[in-house]
Amino acid sequence: MNFYKNIALLVFVFFAPVVFSQGNKPIVAVGTFDSSFRDYDTRNIQTAIETALSKTGKFMLMERGRLDQLLTEQNMSMEGLVDGGAQSLGGFGGVDYLIYGRVTQLGLEAKNLLIMSECRAKLGLDVRVVDVMTGEIRLSENITKEDGVNTSDSESNPCRGIGIEAFDNLSAAASRGLAESLTQNLFPVKIAKASDDEVYLNYGEGFLKKDEILKVVTLGEGFVDPDTGEVLGAEEELIGLVKVYSLKPNFSKARIIMQNAPMSAGDVANRLTKNEQKNMDKFIKNCQKARKDENKRCKKEGSKCDAAIEKREQACTLR
């Protein structure tokens, strides 16, 4: 599941003011998760999501007891919401967003790896985030996480004796992904301050990682659906790359690695997936190598210098 690409399309926050409760932090309630799998306590998922959201520092969490009370006042249940009743919420006091969903996959699978066997656990979640005031589904994710939980020799069953606790790490990983997706949907990583060679980002430790590379973009004019007036998106212009080198509780510092135009406060810094991070590391190394070759070959003018310049331009062009 590529959370970050999905986030780039959800840019409504830039075109309409959003008013939240108490100190501009939206209040989020994490409801129950339906599951048809026996012996799996979905409260672990609730707790993992609450923990992940708390670590972002961008939300206030509603106590579960208060959520139950509000649903009772509305003569509703979490089961009713999961089955499509969220649109009838109509807004109730004290909460801005409600998270709920289903466990869609839960299983163990033994795989033969020639000289050994591995037991892999798989967890699937269908998650909805509802704007309680309007009943609109603001985020919908189908999350699948898979990980190896045990190994054995090729003749044995590596899944034998594996308990339900094997899914705890997958629940935590899925919850972190959801928290990042929701957080960047409402509060994208942005530049808070910029200088010639570094920027300050509005997220710190617990969210960003040291040495993480982000793509900095500036958003152009938004465009709307001519029939409904709904904001569909905005053109993004890639203006540079930054790399986090210092993490603080509420912000981080990042060095400007490359830029096509000056960066300024308010520019969005898009996060990358693990594969994109690896590809970007290769891109940066190839660019640095091409620049060194250009400096070496261009001490004198000539065809070798011209070829080195062309190679550097190709290697260092941001896309």
Query: In the chain, what are the domain boundaries?
Result: 3-186, 191-315
The model's confidence at residue 7, banded by pLDDT at 50, 70 and 90, is very low
For the chain, the straight-line distance linking the first and the last C-alpha, in angstroms and rounded, comes to 22
Q: What are the tens digits of pLDDT across the range 73-85?
A: 666 655 555 444 4
Mean pLDDT of the chain, nearest integer: 82
Structure confidence at residue 205 as a pLDDT band (50, 70, 90): confident
Q: Partners of 30 in the beta sheet?
A: 99
Highest mean pLDDT among 207-211, 232-236, 242-246, 286-290: 242-246
Q: What is the structure's pLDDT at 298?
A: 93
pLDDT category at 14 given cuts 50, 70, 90 is: very low
Comparing CA positions, the residue from 252, 312, 314, 318 lying closest to residue 280 is: 318
> How confident is the model over 173-188, as a mean pLDDT?
84
What is the phi-psi region of residue 130: left when phi exceeds 0, alpha when psi lies from -120 to 50, beta otherwise?
Answer: beta
The answer to whether 235 and 268 have CB atoms below 8 angstroms apart is: no
6, pLDDT greater than 50: no
Task: State mean pLDDT over 80-101.
Answer: 62
Side by side, which strands form the sheet with 137-153?
A: 60-61, 27-34, 97-112, 116-131, 137-153
% of the chain residues with pLDDT over 70? 83
Domain 3-186: homologous superfamily in CATH: ABC-type transport auxiliary lipoprotein component (3.40.50.10610)
Q: CB of 174 within 8 A of CB of 135?
A: no
The residue among 228 and 176 whose pLDDT is bigger is 176
DSSP string, the chain: --HHHHHHH--GGGTS----STTTPPEEEEEEEE--STT--THHHHHHHHHHHHHHTS-EE--HHHHHHHHHHTT--HHHHHTTGGGG----TT-SEEEEEEEEEEEEEEEE-SSEEEEEEEEEEEEEEEETTT--EEEEEEEEEEEEEEEEETTS-TTTT--GGGGHHHHHHHHHHHHHHHHHHHS--BEEEE-SSEEEES--BTTB-TT-EEEEEEEEEEEE-TTT--EEEEEEEEEEEEEEEEE-SS-EEEEEEEESS---TT-EEE---HHHHHHHHHHHHHHHHHHHHHHHHTTS-SHHHHHHHHHHHHHT---
State residue 232's pLDDT score. 66
Strand order in the sheet with 191-194: 191-194, 198-201, 252-259, 231-247, 213-224, 268-270
CA 91 and chain centroid, separation: 27
Residue 166's pLDDT is what? Answer: 85
**Quick one: average pLDDT of 87-94?**
52
How far is 52 from 179, CA to CA, in rounded Å? 6
Tokens of 240: 């540079």
Between residues 81 and 143, the one the model is more confident about? 143
| 93 pLDDT higher than 60 | no
CA distance 20 to 222: 23
Best mean pLDDT range from 112-121, 189-198, 203-212, 270-279: 189-198
Q: Tell me how far apart the alpha carbons of residues 114 and 263 are, in angstroms, rounded to a whole number.
A: 51
pLDDT (mean) for 101-106:
90
CATH architecture for residues 191-315: Beta Barrel (2.40)
194 touches 264 (CB < 8 A) = yes
- Give residue 233's pLDDT: 67
